[in-house]
Structures are given as structure tokens and as C-alpha cells.
Chains A and B, each alone.
Chain A
Amino acid sequence: MDTHDRETQPASPLIAPDTNLMLPVEPDLLVETPGVIPETEGPKERKPVSPLRESLRRLRRDTRAMVSLGVIIFMVLLSLFGPFVYQHLGGIYDSPDNGPIPATVYRTFYHQELSRQDELPSAQYWLGTDDLGRDILARLMQGLLVSISVAVLVEVIDITMGILVGVLAGYFGGWIDQVLARLTDIIFAFPGLLFIILLTGIFGTWADTTLSNIPIVGPNGNARLLLVSGALALVSWPLMARLVRGQTLQIKEQQFIEAARTAGSSNFKIIWRHIIPNLFSIVVVAATLDISNTIIGEASISLLGLGVQQPGSSLGLMISEASNAVDTHPWEVLVPSLTLAILVLAFSFLGDGLRDAFDPRTKD
């Protein structure tokens, strides 16, 4: 019996399938057959394909997911740099109320130009103005920034807590597992939005007075964002933890974990190097899909007047303000609603695409 495997290697892309027949022996990985590996052969040049690289390659072929990713990137760039660009594109406006003012004034999300209320799009106000004569595009970009910041903050807390508690509960079991189970039961039994409303209602004024002193996040009525983010994360992390726990239980039983233990790896090392990397895909998918809920949650709270306060802006707040005049000025409701819908859909589509790309069952 020969001492090398006769199993075939995947044919190299350089060799057409029919020419394969002319090769005496399939290219082999084994050293016992050194002469068989052709010098100019494909597999030698090929880069190793990690499972992650493979998944990303699948994702790149998913048009819907890639378009969604493009939309998300565009919205992030818009919220971060849009205001600067927009303000530098405008000239001096001779305001009947305020005299001559530059675009850095009238194209801010808080400037009220009371003689220009409820306008449709124009060269000066690209998306028109609202009922207080504020630039809708400027307010929209600020609102996007709020939505995305809240989403990022919530997901960071969500992923950190979810992985920490979920992995510990799944790997070690015991009391931490029991506590997690009861906690998720409570979260499931109690409407999340109601809980958030309760929290923001109780601590809202405290946040306004205390948190508003923090630079950057504090001013412009954004102080409550931290509170809203905390409340949203509080109701979402137990679900993430439960998902991670289930996945950990599954990975824990795989033989490579036993192999790592045999190799003398400590529990910490097994968790850090074997379990968490294998959780990566499922956590990314869950977090992406959860962003949609977070954005809607933040908008709902702002809509109810418990989130961002005037003169700050948020997609939810814009919808809420404009909805009073929805029959006379539908445009002012349409713009933030449409933006919100596109953003949420983009995250959902991207999440779906990521799930398909990572899920080995859909492997081609």
C-alpha cells in the first residue's frame, strides 16, 4: 500500500477540466510524491483561503447586500462630513430678519429663519425648511448622526455584554446561566418600549441637568441620548447573550475544543482563541439585524418626546414635529420617514446578506 493519499485536489483554475485527464497523477500535497507537484502549478501560488475571506467573497457577490452597504456608508459619511460640505457650498444670504448671514449660520440644524417657513426644496435650502424655518437637510444630517451614534453605542454595549455573559453562561453553566435565563424571561415578558419609556421618564430630567455638562454629547438636547442608548442596550443585550450562549453550547461540544484541552490550553485560552472567533459571524449578523430595531427604537422614543430635545434633531423628532401639519406640508414628514425607512432596510438587507455569506449551509 502506498503511503500517500490518492484523494484528488480541487483542480487548479489554470488547468481546464479536460486537460486534467492528461495529467498522470493528481497534484498531491504529500512529500512522498515530490515529483508530482508541478513547479508552475496553481495551488502553489494560491493564497490560503480563510473561512472569513471565503465569506466576504460570497458577500461581495450579493448585489442587494453590497448596495445596502453602499447606502449605509453613504449615510455615515453624510452625517459626519455632510454638514461641513453643505455649509461651505452656500453664499451669503441677506436675511430680512437677521441681516446678511453666511451659510454656516442659515444652514445649521438649529438656525430659525422665520420668514422662510415651510418651504419646498430650493437652491438655498436643498430639502426645504420646516415650520420654524430651519434647514431640513441640515436637520436630517444631524438626525442621521444621532441615529447612527445611538446604533453604534447600543451595539457596542450589546455585543460586549452579550458575549461576556453569553459565553460565560454557555461555557461554565451554573448560577450565571440561571441568572441569564431568568433575566431574558423577564425581558421577554415585559414590553421593551414600555420599559424604555419608564426609564427615560424617571431619569430624563436628571439626564438633562447632569449629562448636559459633558462636552460633545451633552449640548443641543442630546443629553438624553446616553440615557436612551443605555435603556435600549439594557433591553437588547440579554437576547444577544442568549443567542451567544446557545452557540457557545454548540461550539463547546465540538472535538476541537476537546483537542485544545488535550493540548494543554486553559479555559481562558479556549474561550478567547477558539470559542469567541467562532462566534464572530453569528454575532455580526445578529448585531447588524438588531441595528434596525435600535434605530426604530430611538426614533420611537424621540417621537414620543422622550429622546432628543429641541433644538437638537433626530429622525424621530423630525417626524413628530412635522406630523402636526402632515396634510398641508407632507414633504416635511416624507423626508425623515423615507430616510429612516431606507436606513433600516439597508441594515436589514446587509444583515440578511451577512447571514447568507457566513452560514455554511448556503455554501456553494
Chain B
Amino acid sequence: MAQQQMATSTATGTTLVEVKGLKVHFPIKGGLFNRTIAHVKAVDGVDLTIRRGETLGLVGESGCGKSTTGRAILQLIKPTGGSVKLNGVELTKLPPSELRKKRAEMQMIFQDPFGSLDPRFTVGQIIAEPLENFKRGNAREIREQVAHLLEVVGLNPYYVNRFPHEFSGGQRQRIGIARALALRPSFIVADEPVSALDVSIQAQVLNLLQDLQAEFGLTYLFVAHNLSVVKHISDRVAVMYLGRIVELAESEKLYELPLHPYTQALLSAIPVPDPEVEARRKRIILEGDVPSPVNPPSGCNFHPRCWKAQQICREVVPPLEEKERDHYVACHFPG
């Protein structure tokens, strides 16, 4: 593990976010005395390092724990175990008041452009909220910053007094992005920021995110289930399955030569926009469903659906190891 950390850190020199053994278990209450009878293991031991200035894509099926991972990193959900370090500061053990101060450095862009904006706030109030919380200037200065932020995300500052319901999905998402940028954070978790948008708007918002990354030196954790979107925006991609990371590599490498059977199956599902190639494309159809995260399979939790599974897969959890340079796989039989 230590070796692995060193390898990634030395690649660019600086690590912004370091996640080790992150676990989020939600209790299921029931029975006569409302006792905890089981746990949903949404995130079950995730290791990640996010380098300064990169975009790390996090993909997986719905319910695999990718959004929960993003929220647990930002401490919006209290992790059950593990450590999260931002700029070397351990976040999981910070008292609430200290954590609130830290929020200026880490922000989030939300999936739902409708639910993530308070319907009773104007656009100006929405974007000003973080600025007011951190006392970034007096009322006039905050107004100026809000107007500037609206311009930065490509909205006319004239509409600062409008309410969210007067905007389209794409425009609302821009408002959400302006709010996330307001405090000049270094790290932003983008939780499926385009999945609720029309395809034509998706590209615009993705381009905006990329432009802003260059302009403000942002680091993204980009959570998504759309593989082409992730490929478009990410420097590196992590693939998640049932609460664990199964593969992590540079985006190009991962898409060209996936090593984990699950990644291979996932990528084989991407349609190719060429009818001839598409006809020859071989899809790997996985058998069965994703097992319940309440009672995940022993050993490698992908083994019940894996065509390579052996005895060892049922018994031993494969660690996330560097199989090639900067290519990490959690599999006993990669390739």
C-alpha cells in the first residue's frame, strides 16, 4: 500500500486528496427494539489519490457507491471508517466548526439542477450564500463577485434577481457551478453533473467545466455512469464495483486495454458510432445481477459474475495493485 501511494504521488509530485480504506456503512434498523440488524456496505474500503489539477473520473453502475464515495470525501456523509486527507489535513477527525471552515476549499456540483437550488432563493442569493458564510466582503463586494461569477459560467448578470424556476436545466446547472466556484475551491466533486441534462447541453456544460479547470486550477472528482462522458473529461479513471475500486488507470490506457474483467464487460457495452465496427463488436454479457451490498460475496465481490473466477477469488479479496505503470487493478487474474 505504501509503495502504491508513493508511486502515484511521485508521478506528478503533489497529491491533493488522499483517501485510504474509506468505508460508509448505512445501518438497517428493524425488529422489535429497532436494533441495527444489518448494514448496507455502500462504500467498503476505497483507496484513491487525486493529484492536483487532474480530473479523476469515477464510474460504475448505479448503486455501486460512487456518489456516496464523493459525498464521504466531502464529509457530507460521515464515513464509517478510513481516512480522507485534503492538502494533508485529515478531514474525518475534524470537529464540525473546523470542518465548516475547510468547506471553502472543497465544493460540490450536484446532479439534479432542479433540486439543488432552493426554489425560494434568487440566483443572486444562491451564489452569495457561500460568500456570506465565509464573510468574503461586504454586501456590495459580494454583489460584484456574484455578477462576475455569473459571467464566468456564461450567464448574463442581469438575471441575478430571477428565481431558479425561470431557468432551463442547463442554465440552472451553470448557477450550481457558479455557486461551487464562489469560494475559489481547489477541489470539486462533480456528482453526475450532466446526467440530468439534454445531450446537446451536456457537451456545453462539460466544456465549461474544462475551461474553468484551466482558468482556476481546479481538481475534479468526476462521478458519472456515462462512460463516454468520463472518457471525454478525465485524465484518469477509477472503476467501482459494489463499494470497491476494481481498476484505476489513465483514461486512454483504461479504455484501450482494460485489465479487470468487470471493466472489460463495462467497456464492451459502449456502442460504436460506425455500423460496420458496431456489427463486429463483441459484447460481454454479464450473468446475474449486482449482488446486494448488504451481504456482498466473499473474496473478490465480482466472482459470482466473473468468467475467470477460480477458488482463490471466492476466498481472498484481491488488493488494488499496480500491475503496469500507473495502472492499478484489483484482480487475481488481470488481463
Contact = CB atoms under 8 A, between A and B. Distances in A.
B is a partner of A: yes
Interface of A: 1-7, 29-32, 37, 44, 48-52, 254-256, 258-266, 269, 274, 277-278
A5 B198 CA distance: 10
A51 B117 CA distance: 13
Contacts of B166: 48-49
Contacts of A48: 122, 161-163, 166
A278 B162 contact: no
Contacts of A2: 204
A90 B225 CA distance: 81
B62 interface: no
A155 B168 CA distance: 39
B163 A49 contact: yes
A7 B155 contact: no
A49 B103 CA distance: 32
A29 B167 contact: yes
Interface in B35-89: 71, 74, 76
B136 to A, nearest CB: 11
Contacts of B182: 263
Contacts of A50: 120, 122, 163
Contact of B120 (A1, A49, A269, A277): A277
Given A29-B159, A51-B119, A264-B134, A259 B168 contact: no
Contact of A264 (B100, B110, B203): B100
Contacts of A278: 118-120
Nearest to B151: A31
B112 interface: yes
Contacts, number: 111
Given A30-B155, A49-B163, A274 B118 contact: yes
Interface string B95-118: 000001101100110111001111
A303 B271 CA distance: 78
Contacts of B118: 256, 260, 274, 278
Interface in B170-221: 170-171, 176, 179-180, 182-183, 198, 200-201, 203-204, 207-208
Most chain B CB atoms below 10 A, which of A44, A50, A278:
A50
Nearest to A54: B165
B156 interface: yes
A30 B182 CA distance: 19
The 9 A-B residue pairs whose C-beta atoms are closest, nearest first, are A263-B130, A255-B116, A7-B168, A264-B133, A255-B115, A264-B103, A256-B118, A5-B170, A48-B161
Nearest to B191: A255
A51 B76 contact: no
A262 B103 contact: yes
Most chain A CB atoms below 10 A, which of B76, B107, B119:
B119
Given A1-B204, A29-B159, A263-B129, 5 more contacts: A3-B204, A255-B112, A258-B108, A259-B117, A261-B76
Contacts of A52: 120
Contacts of B156: 29-31, 37
12 contacts: A1-B207, A5-B170, A5-B204, A7-B168, A51-B165, A255-B111, A255-B112, A258-B71, A260-B129, A261-B103, A262-B76, A265-B129
A160 to B, nearest CB: 21
A31 B76 contact: no
Interface of B: 71, 74, 76, 100-101, 103-104, 107-108, 110-112, 115-120, 122, 129-130, 133-134, 151, 154-156, 158-159, 161-163, 165-171, 176, 179-180, 182-183, 198, 200-201, 203-204, 207-208
B155 A29 contact: yes
A262 B165 contact: no
Contacts of B176: 259
A256 B107 contact: no
A260 B133 CA distance: 10
A7 to B, nearest CB: 4
Contacts of B103: 261-264
Contact of B110 (A4, A7, A255): A255
A30 B122 contact: no
Nearest to A28: B156
A49 B111 CA distance: 25
Contacts of A263: 103, 107, 129-130, 133, 179, 182-183
Given A7-B170, A44-B158, A48-B161, A258 B76 contact: yes
Contacts of B76: 258, 261-262
A109 to B, nearest CB: 45
B59 to A, nearest CB: 21
A33 B324 CA distance: 48
A51 B154 contact: no
B155 A31 contact: yes
A51 B166 CA distance: 10
B107 A262 contact: yes
Contacts of B116: 255-256, 258-259
Contacts of A258: 71, 76, 108, 110, 116
Contacts of B201: 5, 7
A32 B152 CA distance: 11
Most chain A CB atoms below 10 A, which of B117, B122, B134, B163:
B163
A1 B204 CA distance: 7
Nearest to B158: A44
Given A5-B201, A260-B129, A29 B207 contact: no
A267 to B, nearest CB: 9
B123 to A, nearest CB: 9
A5 B173 CA distance: 11
